[in-house]
Structure 1
């Protein structure tokens, strides 16, 4: 134990002794001590825990009163008998230090109480997640939908636009074509043309079933991870059990609704149809009845979701977001990852192709994490995966695999911790959001297994310093030195809406932030009265709902260190 650490612990314990009466007259202490020893006729009287006593000293709570009396008696005897100047100086310094510690702890308690009150208020007022598609009670068969053209394709599925008379959109969202009229900065004259959300509000994802068999049970077991973002009504229920086309099955964890996580409205199995462009785009995935050379099975899993205008990758190919929109885009990804982590789910395949995008009425992009086929969502594992052999699947997208995952070596008792792996991938995607190549794709030469932090390219000078700080922190190799998605999100929240509080922040105090939180929550509540459904309003409400003093303290500390470093440069 270092001298500094020992002194700090001594000051904490001394402060407790001080508040128990270390400066009271010895005679009063002696009388009180004798009186407590004589009061044996009150069996119900017990020593109550002191709220100011540090948790690590709980063992000594029942004996501190007697210990304080003994120390006070000895101290006053020395003082009356002519104690040395050194002893008197030590007692004086000890008292001053205890006073400062007590003042700081009182302020921390007030700040913690403020955070808890704000969080409780917004938890009560937390609006039920509004689906972009109106609720509907049917749609458990492929025949219920009108299938349009293909709008996406991955390594294990094809996505088609779809429509159904029972599933209209709640509101019409801004499209990529309309974005130029709003004034968003673009670098191409002809942006992508998104699918018409008015005529095809839904999207149907058809999984490619090559090795799972054609039974519903086998399909559900092989593709159950795709159902992690499914709504409670996605699968039919009979006798309180999930039913997939007449067969019972079990599914993994299912994430609760969040604005930045996709929702699956329906899931069912059906016979694979010959959809548009199927023979040209994925002939090997078709069954032999549709393509003699095909390897697929006759039945597969279909997922019904909202039809989004484009992916993040497509958007970044044609648009350059401004600094504020870019910051909110990065923040949304961190909010989505934090929501997954809080429920023990790791996505393990984050990339710009697996992030969908739409626009609010102000033209701000709203990002949605999708494609959970590689996720870790088992009830018994949480975010730690036993890695006993090289045959254990570590996740998709090796280019954006966090260092602790990419460098893990299998062995008895070895576990891979995914609690900060998705946050690392968000840091890498941050380069793409702000118009630079992802440093971990093949053309840049960096690999997550071996890169050094000093090799990371600098973000452009137009990128806010706070965003550059967040990206650097997220891409730290050591996960113990990397902030969680929640702390990184708090840094961006403070950067976007708490500049005034940060400007006057004392490194040893959170009082200014507590004052700002009260004002900020009042503003958000007033805006909420008008039905704020914009991306900015959603982010602010989410921040206040997830308030935590320690996480906020860490975020403020990171920001202050970043400001100091930038000032020194």
Structure 2
């Protein structure tokens, strides 16, 4: 033991012993005691009546994270501050500890940053460095980003669920085998209420049924996304009885990313039943924003007889085969999908890398919550092109997803009746080639990552080898040879080329974990260039990685907060000394980066762990070593 450490311990224990003898009032209440006291006080307060019409996500876990985070923060603070032995700074340490403990991360990041920059060695233990990563994740997670910022007054529907009657519709924008999507907006109270809620009008009374038949939901011809900022997805219902409970149970996969469930009947029982067998997916910048899920009667919308006549109920179309009620999902409206975006405007190389990174971030988020999409393809990936050079990518259409709480990503495969998901062309080889059996299992841990590797060819403006075309033979995932995979264009960075190759390894054990794969792209975009040079012999130390993470955190907390606001300045030159943000066409910049780039960095920091970053750096080092030699 060093003299410095020995002196610290003697001073600490000696002071405690003297104070004990003098019987001073030390106010030694521990954090755990404070929490327990808070729980006792809270328990004496009357419980609030739970609104059965609106059920927020994760309502049972609101305070658990706060308690655990408070204890973890106290342990880390004690370990750091107790290693500073200058007795003259004792009072300052106490004040800083109080500020840090109760939620102000500024002094904490300042302390850590000075320590790392000066090389004083305050932080040396690996646990303490990971603790700083925990602080970074907490600080960035508390930022309220506007990545799905749409004008919706959710308080309006607190006491009554959203219905078809509350919406106005534009034109249809997409139609698939199982659903149709219309542009929509929420009607304001002062608008003429010309629509009829079929849920209220259609009942057993034949006269009211006839009246409902003659009515039609009003639609408007405007296709302006600012006027119709929402998209309403109506599922086709052919064989499920017209009951809210039955419909929600049968179509629960579609609702996995939803924020709130709405229903006219039985919502509390439905939520309990869903929580027992299904997983929830928290909001994420790269997952579609679904604001509301509700059941209602199928309305007569524009061009419904021409687009989906078979899905209509007989009260609307005599030859229809659909049921009266179905499931509706109100979501943010996106400009286009990945397929249409690439065909219309081939992206630049940097834009392509940003799109791939966002796709991997979305997959990492799903995997972290034990959810597999199982139907990834370019028309299920939507883009917000408000900033054309850096569009925001989101994963949508969860109708084939696996979100089973009991089995997670390891689904027992006892017979061919078990659903493997959709889109067999982009189904991973370990899924498509698996045979049923008593002990057979479908492992979806890296199945979505494999699909992302195939979609990467489209992102870089190439033909997807598993789709093929007239000039290229189609590969089959069940029996393809890795050497038959076509090369990406030469201008695609070598690290990205090798990452795509790794994602398409036939053996899932040879693929990177989705979180590590996303880290590779994030490191390529933002890490110091010296870390990515071929022939890098020595990996950066944990302290160096942490310095880099703190630098990114500072950019997000400072520049990102400013860039997270909405500006309305016209596209014109900015005068010298002006505080207005620079505007380049439709791309708004504050600082060095665009808003989607800050959003992408924040996604990375929200899950940053030193171990996973080192794994990604080691993989980059291994492939660059091969390139160098």
1:519-534 mapped onto 2 (5 Å cutoff): 519-532=551-564, 534=595
2:144 matched to 1:128? yes
Question: Does the 8 Å CA contact 2:140/2:553 hold for their aligned counterparts?
Answer: no
2:173 alignment counterpart: 151
Question: Does the 8 Å CA contact 2:515/2:612 hold for their aligned counterparts?
Answer: yes
Question: Does the 8 Å CA contact 1:347/1:372 hold for their aligned counterparts?
Answer: yes
Equivalent residue for 2:606, pick from 526, 533, 545: 545
2:277 matched to 1:250? no
1:231 alignment counterpart: 259
For 1:149 and 1:382, how far apart are their aligned partners in 2?
39
Question: Does the 8 Å CA contact 1:237/1:243 hold for their aligned counterparts?
Answer: no
For 1:485 and 1:360, how far apart are their aligned partners in 2?
28
By how many angstroms is 1:506 displaced?
Answer: 3.6
For 2:555 and 2:420, how far apart are their aligned partners in 1?
44
For 2:177 and 2:494, how far apart are their aligned partners in 1?
37
Question: Does the 8 Å CA contact 2:371/2:408 hold for their aligned counterparts?
Answer: yes
For 2:400 and 2:356, how far apart are their aligned partners in 1?
22
TM-score normalised by L of structure 1: 0.71
Match of 1:155, SS state, is coil
For 1:110 and 1:493, how far apart are their aligned partners in 2?
26
1:103-502 mapped onto 2 (5 Å cutoff): 113-126=128-141, 127-130=143-146, 131-133=148-150, 134-136=152-154, 137-138=156-157, 140-166=162-188, 195-232=223-260, 234-235=261-262, 241=268, 250=274, 252-361=278-387, 363-441=389-467, 443=469, 444-502=473-531
Aligned Cα root-mean-square deviation (Å):
2.7
Match of 1:439, SS state, is coil
1:559 alignment counterpart: 620
1:416-438 per-residue CA deviation (whole Å, 9 max, x = no partner) reads 11111111111111100110111
Cα gap change, 1:290/1:226 in structure 2, threshold over 3 Å: closer, same or farther? same
By how many angstroms is 1:341 displaced?
Answer: 1.0
Question: Does the 8 Å CA contact 1:439/1:446 hold for their aligned counterparts?
Answer: yes
By how many angstroms is 1:110 displaced?
Answer: 5.2
Question: Does the 8 Å CA contact 1:129/1:258 hold for their aligned counterparts?
Answer: no
Match of 2:290, SS state, is coil
Match of 1:408, SS state, is coil
1:43-91 per-residue CA deviation (whole Å, 9 max, x = no partner) reads xxxxxxxxxxxxxxxxxxxxxxxxxxxxxxxxxxxxxxxxxxxxxxxxx
1:206-256 per-residue CA deviation (whole Å, 9 max, x = no partner) reads 100012122222211211111101103x32598981669xxx963632211
By how many angstroms is 1:356 displaced?
Answer: 1.0
Question: Between Structure 1 and Structure 2, whose CA radius of gyration is higher?
Answer: 1
For 2:489 and 2:477, how far apart are their aligned partners in 1?
22
By how many angstroms is 1:202 displaced?
Answer: 0.9
For 1:116 and 1:550, how far apart are their aligned partners in 2?
12
For 2:164 and 2:254, how far apart are their aligned partners in 1?
18
Cα gap change, 1:432/1:111 in structure 2, threshold over 3 Å: closer, same or farther? farther
Cα gap change, 1:237/1:499 in structure 2, threshold over 3 Å: closer, same or farther? farther
For 1:522 and 1:112, how far apart are their aligned partners in 2?
22
Cα gap change, 1:473/1:288 in structure 2, threshold over 3 Å: closer, same or farther? same
Match of 2:628, SS state, is helix
Runs of at least 5 residues in structure 2 that lack an aligned partner in the other structure: 2-120, 190-221, 566-594
By how many angstroms is 1:550 displaced?
Answer: 2.3
Cα gap change, 1:242/1:260 in structure 2, threshold over 3 Å: closer, same or farther? farther
Question: Does the 8 Å CA contact 1:284/1:294 hold for their aligned counterparts?
Answer: yes
For 1:112 and 1:389, how far apart are their aligned partners in 2?
46
2:541 alignment counterpart: 510
For 1:469 and 1:113, how far apart are their aligned partners in 2?
34
Question: Does the 8 Å CA contact 1:423/1:474 hold for their aligned counterparts?
Answer: yes
Cα gap change, 1:298/1:395 in structure 2, threshold over 3 Å: closer, same or farther? same
By how many angstroms is 1:389 displaced?
Answer: 0.2
For 2:239 and 2:291, how far apart are their aligned partners in 1?
25
Match of 1:530, SS state, is helix
Question: Does the 8 Å CA contact 2:313/2:321 hold for their aligned counterparts?
Answer: yes
By how many angstroms is 1:532 displaced?
Answer: 4.3
2:588 alignment counterpart: none
Match of 1:250, SS state, is helix
1:11-41 per-residue CA deviation (whole Å, 9 max, x = no partner) reads xxxxxxxx9xxxxxxxxxxxxxxxxxxxxxx
Cα gap change, 1:525/1:500 in structure 2, threshold over 3 Å: closer, same or farther? farther
1:513-553 per-residue CA deviation (whole Å, 9 max, x = no partner) reads 34433433333333234244711111112212211222112
Cα gap change, 1:240/1:202 in structure 2, threshold over 3 Å: closer, same or farther? closer
Match of 1:241, SS state, is helix
Runs of at least 5 residues in structure 1 that lack an aligned partner in the other structure: 1-18, 20-105, 168-193
Question: Does the 8 Å CA contact 1:403/1:448 hold for their aligned counterparts?
Answer: yes
By how many angstroms is 1:294 displaced?
Answer: 2.0
2:64 alignment counterpart: none
Question: Does the 8 Å CA contact 1:195/1:309 hold for their aligned counterparts?
Answer: no
By how many angstroms is 1:140 displaced?
Answer: 1.2
435-444 or 114-123: which moved more? 114-123
1:83-94 mapped onto 2 (5 Å cutoff): none
Cα gap change, 1:195/1:118 in structure 2, threshold over 3 Å: closer, same or farther? farther
For 1:405 and 1:109, how far apart are their aligned partners in 2?
44
By how many angstroms is 1:311 displaced?
Answer: 1.1
